[in-house]
Structure 1
Amino acid sequence: MNRKCIIAGLICCMGLGMANSSNVMGQVAAIKADAVKGGSLIGRWDIKVNENVTEKPSWLEVELSGFHTLVGRFVSTGGSARPISKVTFDNGKFSFSIPPQWESEDKDLSLEGTLTAAGISGTIHTSSGQTYAFTGVKAPDLIRTSVPVWGKPVRLFNGKDLSGWKALGENQWIVKDGILTSPHSGANLISEQTFTDFKLHVEFRYQKNSNSGVYLRGRYETQIIDNPKTEHPSSHLFGGIYGFLVPNEMVVLNPGQWQTFDITLVGRIVTVVANGKTIICNQEIPGITGGALDSNEGEPGPIYFQGDHGPIEFRNIVITPAK
């Protein structure tokens, strides 16, 4: 075979490969949710779980993988987002199961639901053997169409007492030497004011092996934890949006040192500056994180400090809300 034939053959093969690739991409691009079995389930869902008459928040995301397989992520009433390898759907009914996370039991958590025009509803079977009813609605996109105009900064902590704050449960929070202090594990602390879009500055200090968090709108946790500086960044470690967003750098300081967060939240888009370095830049928070106060994502929410995981101190808490 001469050289011209070889070159022509290669060009032909390349052309066929490109054509096949283009055809596949065309097929993928043509797939629409309503053309897939269970396609109306695709999207994000804000869920309310009835646990012994107490309403607790949860969250579900369903995505299309390939041509017809439904996969997703799930945030239970505790823990963080967990992957769902397959969501089954048939005649308006859907189900999935996921292995335990922080639970001590070995049994999978399973969910069975029904999709209707009003939303989703069904039952959750926990790893501990409990069964709870749930309902869910499509989560709002929270897309902003204009650049925020910032108002005046508001000092949320007066350095004297707990005015403007309330504890969820028996209060252990005190003010000592102008510092907002939780000397031991106990109740979480929530601002009485609620906010939509804002810039938040907060300074904090913790002891060795402690753990806390700053919840934005009471729903999205920015993680505070004493992890080694040598740890690879993770959504579960310092500065991460718990279970969702991974910092680009580990900038944690030693326990006993004052550290800072400067956080901007507009819609779902968050930027986190920790100790002077931007570690998360204009990233979307998909949904609520474990420990959220509620799943009403379209509503304003408070700033809340986690106090149930160990000693923590805060000072210079300043928020600048959007007008």
Structure 2
Amino acid sequence: MTRPLLMAACLLAAAPALAAPKGDPARDPATTEAWTPEPAIVATPPGGAPSDAIVLFDGKDTSAWEAEEGGRVPWTVADGAMTVVPGSKGIRTREKFCDIQLHVEWRSPTDTKGFEGQDRGNSGIFLQELYELQVLDSYKNPTYANGQAGSIYKQAMPLANASRPPGEWQAYDIVWKAPRFSPGGGLISPARITVLHNGVLVQNDTVVSGKTEYIGAPSYAPHDCAPLYLQEHASKVSYRNIWVRKL
């Protein structure tokens, strides 16, 4: 028998030994296959909210929101956008949320003359009314890094500045993990946040140190699920296409 034929014969003879023994779960690929529970089907139309999302603002309807002190939303609605009225205070959702995926589109005003730093296009998205993701015109507008767009205000600076020029729409895609507290009020686990700004990762599973403070260090106090809050900060920032998925 020639050498190649001899090698082929040897391999064929060894093949049964390499096969998984019948009934041996350690060599059966099916033992690591999970078929249940089957993930829910979520339709995602181009440019639209996922089919299981709660639409908080569709460009017209503000019924999911109320004024900071209750009552009708005091901001203007036109051309598919909701715009801050300076001096009117912020707005919050009527529904309360804990762990969420949140999509928000926002736009800073084009009139920048005489405005710089924190006075230019300032607003904020407060998760559970306490923890602020900064909204600011940070396009060629220097300010302290943990106060620019994409920062967890006064806590965590963004990994990048993905800001577009004033007047252009921008998007935040947020994954929020709410803090957990013990029955006695102690902190079990802090809040965590992941943020993409215009598709760029700017907060990567960031640990939130506590509620947002303008002066002083952040800290935690026990609380339950709470509304989302959009800040009025004397600037005509606009919002549109806001939706949320409970996680």
Tell me which interval the TM-score lies in, with the shorter structure as reference length: 0.5 to 0.7
2:57 match = 157
Matches within 5 A, 1:95-110: none
Secondary structure of residue in 1 paired with 2:194: strand
Deviation at 1:229, TM superposition (A): 3.6
Is the contact between residue 171 and residue 187 of structure 1 (CA under 8 Å) also seen in structure 2? no
Secondary structure of residue in 2 paired with 1:163: coil
**What amino acid maps onto 1:198 in structure 2?**
I
Write the deviation string for residues 108-167 of structure 1: whole angstroms up to 9, x where unpaired.
Answer: xxxxxxxxxxxxxxxxxxxxxxxxxxxxxxxxxxxxxxxxx9992110114223212111
Deviation at 1:187, TM superposition (A): 1.1
2:161 match = 250
Is the contact between residue 231 and residue 250 of structure 1 (CA under 8 Å) also seen in structure 2? no
Is the contact between residue 229 and residue 250 of structure 1 (CA under 8 Å) also seen in structure 2? no
Distance in 1 between residues matched to 2:222 and 2:166, nearest whole Å: 33
1:174 match = 76
TM-score normalised according to structure 2 size: 0.63
**What amino acid maps onto 2:61 in structure 1?**
D
1:275 aligns with 2:198: yes
Distance in 1 between residues matched to 2:77 and 2:212, nearest whole Å: 28
Deviation at 1:297, TM superposition (A): 4.2
Give the root-mean-square deviation of aligned CA atoms: 2.5
Distance in 1 between residues matched to 2:100 and 2:91, nearest whole Å: 19
Secondary structure of residue in 1 paired with 2:238: strand
Write the deviation string for residues 26-52 of structure 1: whole angstroms up to 9, x where unpaired.
Answer: xxxxxxxxxxxxxxxxxxxxxxxxxxx
* Count of residues paired in the alignment: 172
Deviation at 1:185, TM superposition (A): 3.7
Cα pair distance change 1:296/1:180, threshold 3 Å: farther
Distance in 2 between residues matched to 1:236 and 1:203, nearest whole Å: 19
Distance in 2 between residues matched to 1:228 and 1:202, nearest whole Å: 18
1:261 match = 172
Matches within 5 A, 1:25-36: none
1:224 match = 135
Distance in 2 between residues matched to 1:280 and 1:233, nearest whole Å: 17
Write the deviation string for residues 205-231 of structure 1: whole angstroms up to 9, x where unpaired.
Answer: 111322101111111101111234474
More strand by share: 1
1:303 aligns with 2:231: no
Is the contact between residue 166 and residue 190 of structure 1 (CA under 8 Å) also seen in structure 2? yes
**What amino acid maps onto 1:312 in structure 2?**
V
TM-score normalised according to structure 1 size: 0.49
Is the contact between residue 172 and residue 184 of structure 1 (CA under 8 Å) also seen in structure 2? no
1:237 aligns with 2:148: yes
Secondary structure of residue in 2 paired with 1:235: helix
1:206 match = 108
Distance in 2 between residues matched to 1:211 and 1:177, nearest whole Å: 21
Between the aligned residues of both structures, percent identity stands at: 30
**What amino acid maps onto 1:186 in structure 2?**
S
**What amino acid maps onto 1:196 in structure 2?**
C
Is the contact between residue 233 and residue 247 of structure 1 (CA under 8 Å) also seen in structure 2? no
Deviation at 1:195, TM superposition (A): 0.4
